[in-house]
Structure 1
Amino acid sequence: MTIDVMFPYYGDVAMMKAAVDSVLKQEDRDFKLTIVDDGYPDDTLPAYFAELTASDSRIAYSRNEKNLGANGNYRKCVGLIQHDIVVIMGADDVMLPNYLSTVRQAFREPSVSIVQPQVEVIDELGEVYLPLADRIKAAMRRRATGSSSTAVLQGEPIAKSLISGNWLYFPSIAWRADAIKAHSFRPEYDVVQDLALALDVVMTGSRLLATDTVCFQYRRHRESDSSVRALDGRRFDEERRFFDECAADFQRLGWGKAALAARLHLSSRLNAVSLLPKVVAKRAWVGLGKLLGHAVRF
């Protein structure tokens, strides 16, 4: 069973090449790598991609005629899925050699549509580290999965856990193709589209499997797009709209505890509070007002 590795690309060339190389070094060789270039401006790329596709028939490459943005390129990748299992990989992340074999094994569990393996967090230099945000994610994951090395979760418990604090690492997730195709990414979101997709799948009754096998390295950038959006308040405007929508959806399903967690969105509020010193230091006064409003408004 071939696994689709969808690779939406825009960004650092060296990190992209390292990510591609990590796919090609997988122990499990049954994959199809599809690179969708969103028009990154680098004159060396045409020759690199031409050589890549000529050297390996499992690699396909296309370049968008116009820049679609992250969400648009994700949705294009969904439309190109050909096989039953798919991962939409980050172009600066790294698959460890056992990644594909790990998720393939996990999908032997019946009715699982989402597989979240264990990840290492790396910085811009590729060094493994664990910043505060990821220590919190790890704690929330342990709370959801317990002491089991493999946990299968579904329904309101996983919805409540993820809406309380998203401990998933989207680029490392493997999906059933039929589940991701049924929903795709909501076009109105630019920051929480990954969590929205996971919850859409969960709300249809699908199950999530979390395994403790470390097989992926997630790169944490200090000044990511989501960080910039957070400082000027845009991230939290989007999160509030999303939480309100989730609260209504959960309530319709009779998931009262999950709906309450969505309305409270405590981890999001705490994140806004944690950014206040940085906003003050940058004198981003508009952002300061938005962050304070997000932190205290109900």
Structure 2
Amino acid sequence: MTTVDIMMPFYGDVGLMQASVRSVLAQDDPCWRLTVVDDSTDPAVPEFFATIDDERVRYLRNPQNLGLTGNFNRCLELVEHELAVVIGCDDLMLPNYVSVVRSVHHDHPDAGIIQPGVRVIDGAGNETKTLVDEAKRRLYAPKFDRRTSLVGEDLAVSLLRGDWLYFPSICWRSEALKGLRFRPELRVIQDLALLIELVRRGERLVADSTLCFEYRRHEASESSATAFDGSRFTEAGNFFADVADQLAAHGWHRAARVARLHLSSRIFALTKLPQALRAGGEAVRPLVRHAFGPGRG
């Protein structure tokens, strides 16, 4: 029977993590195993896990701090079962998450990437709509009723036009992740880098519209902070220039052109520019360079 490895790298708010863990415990399908990899020193974390009497829950504390990317990679190293998800320690699974992704896997066993239905919530847990998420839904995500499948250059073009996926909600075929790691030089675009590498290797994506996951978006996140200070866009410009060269060498010239243009990322930089101008400082230059420049930061 297919088991879902739910990997949770922890480094933040203890209360939100506890809510995330409880959402896993509430799954209506029992075929899961939760592994929490604690990169903090907060004594409240092991105390919380000592109260959980469920053999499917595994708690590990790093002997030394690995940092964000290092802890994500540690989670990938610990995957043992057929399917895996790297959930954010502030995100929530609805009770049907495991049953939904297992159903998709049963029907599409060749899919390396499964994107289920996602609802976006704010820091307080209320459903929210942001410009970024509305653009994902209305402009970049493919239109489909229940399920759709993409592979090859068409999938690369779709993601490079605008990354419409929600990485913490994605369920992966574990075999597809073997040998892959998050790149330590990247802070906020590691997810797209990993996805594009999988796509280049021939992995298929299946998206299912069934709502089963709540993705938390709030200003305290790493991506929000780097979007404001401009460093996100320097990183993004360099990434898109590099991936365009790689895809051109792979023979995917349409995808390479989309990567060089990276229009959605340029538009996102423009939306942050008024705030940066009001605040002053060093954020303005990388935002302008990314929005109007040739590509590389």
Relative to the length of structure 2, the TM-score reads 0.95
State how far apart, in whole Å, the 1-side matches of 2:242 and 2:138 are: 26
Give runs of aligned pairs for residues 9-158 of structure 1, distance below 5 A: 9-39=10-40, 41-52=41-52, 55-108=53-106, 109-142=108-141, 144=142, 146-158=143-155
Specify the SS of the correspondent of 1:275: helix
Q: CA deviation at 1:253?
A: 1.8
Aligned-pair identity in percent equals 45
* Map of 1:294 onto structure 2: 290
Q: CA deviation at 1:166?
A: 0.6
Deviates more, 1:272-281 or 1:75-84: 272-281
- Cα pair 1:4 1:82 within 8 Å, conserved: yes
Q: CA deviation at 1:188?
A: 2.0
State how far apart, in whole Å, the 1-side matches of 2:25 and 2:85 are: 14
State how far apart, in whole Å, the 2-side matches of 1:157 and 1:95 are: 29
Specify the SS of the correspondent of 1:263: helix
- Cα pair 2:140 2:162 within 8 Å, conserved: no
Q: CA deviation at 1:148?
A: 3.4
Give runs of aligned pairs for residues 257-276 of structure 1, distance below 5 A: 257-276=254-273
Q: CA deviation at 1:147?
A: 2.7
- Residues 4-62 of structure 1 show CA distances to partners (whole Å, capped at 9, x for unaligned) of 000100111111000000000001111110000011x433222112222xx11111111
- Cα pair 2:39 2:62 within 8 Å, conserved: yes
Q: Which runs of 5+ in 2 are unaligned?
A: none
Give runs of aligned pairs for residues 163-202 of structure 1, distance below 5 A: 163-202=160-199
Q: CA deviation at 1:77?
A: 0.4
State how far apart, in whole Å, the 1-side matches of 2:119 and 2:213 are: 6
Specify the SS of the correspondent of 2:206: strand
- Cα pair 1:140 1:161 within 8 Å, conserved: no
- Cα pair 1:8 1:73 within 8 Å, conserved: yes
Q: Which runs of 5+ in 1 are unaligned?
A: none
* Map of 1:210 onto structure 2: 207
Deviates more, 1:65-74 or 1:90-99: 65-74
State how far apart, in whole Å, the 2-side matches of 1:206 and 1:193 are: 17
How many residue pairs align between the two structures? 292
Q: CA deviation at 1:141?
A: 4.5
* Map of 1:231 onto structure 2: 228
After the TM superposition, which segments of 4 or more aligned residues of structure 1 sit over 6 Å from their partners?
none
- Cα pair 2:219 2:225 within 8 Å, conserved: no
- Cα pair 2:94 2:214 within 8 Å, conserved: yes
- Residues 236-266 of structure 1 show CA distances to partners (whole Å, capped at 9, x for unaligned) of 1111111011101111121111100100111
